[in-house]
Amino acid sequence: MAIQIELIPSTVFSGKEQDEKVRFILNMVRRDKILVLEATLSPVEEKLLIEKTMDHVTKDFPGIEIASFGEEAVDLKSKLVRFLGGRMSGFTVVGPSNLVKEVKRDPDKLSLWAAHK
């Protein structure tokens, strides 16, 4: 079986509620797709995604691997931008953990290791 990777442009996400975004991601990932989103999730969305993932864990779906990359909201200026609803550029890789062995981030790239069980 081949591994399917989907690239989701940020327009798909714009205007979506937090719940909707999380449901969208989880629906795809549970169907064995690896997503590359042209967006970063907010901390609250990340939290929600982990919570909802836990609700769906089974023998065959142990959970997700996720990492995002982009402008970090660490300094006060970008925090302010994020707080005021400004878009943070970046992207997020998320996939089912039984396909994605590891997503590693270092200062200038994200690396993803995928394989079948």
Give 19 or 75: the residue with its C-beta nearer to other proteins. Answer: 75
Provide the mask over 41-80, with x wherever binding to other proteins is found by CB under 8 A and - wherever it is not.
-xxx-xx--xx-xxx-x-x--xxxxxxx----xxxxx-xx
Q: Please, how many CA atoms are within 13 Å of residue 102, restricted to the half-sphere of its CB?
A: 4
| Residue 17 in tokens | 């509620």
Alpha carbons 36 and 114: distance in angstroms, whole number: 13
CA angle at 71 for the pair 3 and 111, rounded to the nearest 5°: 30
Gap between the terminal Cα atoms of the chain: 11
| Interface of this chain with other proteins, residues 17 to 46, rule: CB under 8 A | 42-44, 46
Distance in Å, CB of 97 to other proteins, minimum: 4
| Binding footprint of other proteins, residue count (CB under 8 A) | 30
Distance in Å, CB of 105 to other proteins, minimum: 6
* Bridge partner list, 34: 5
Helix, strand or coil for residue 95? strand
Distance in Å, CB of 25 to other proteins, minimum: 12
Which spans of this chain sit near other proteins (rule: CB under 8 A)?
Answer: 42-44, 46-47, 50-51, 53-55, 57, 59, 62-68, 73-77, 79-80, 97-98, 104-105
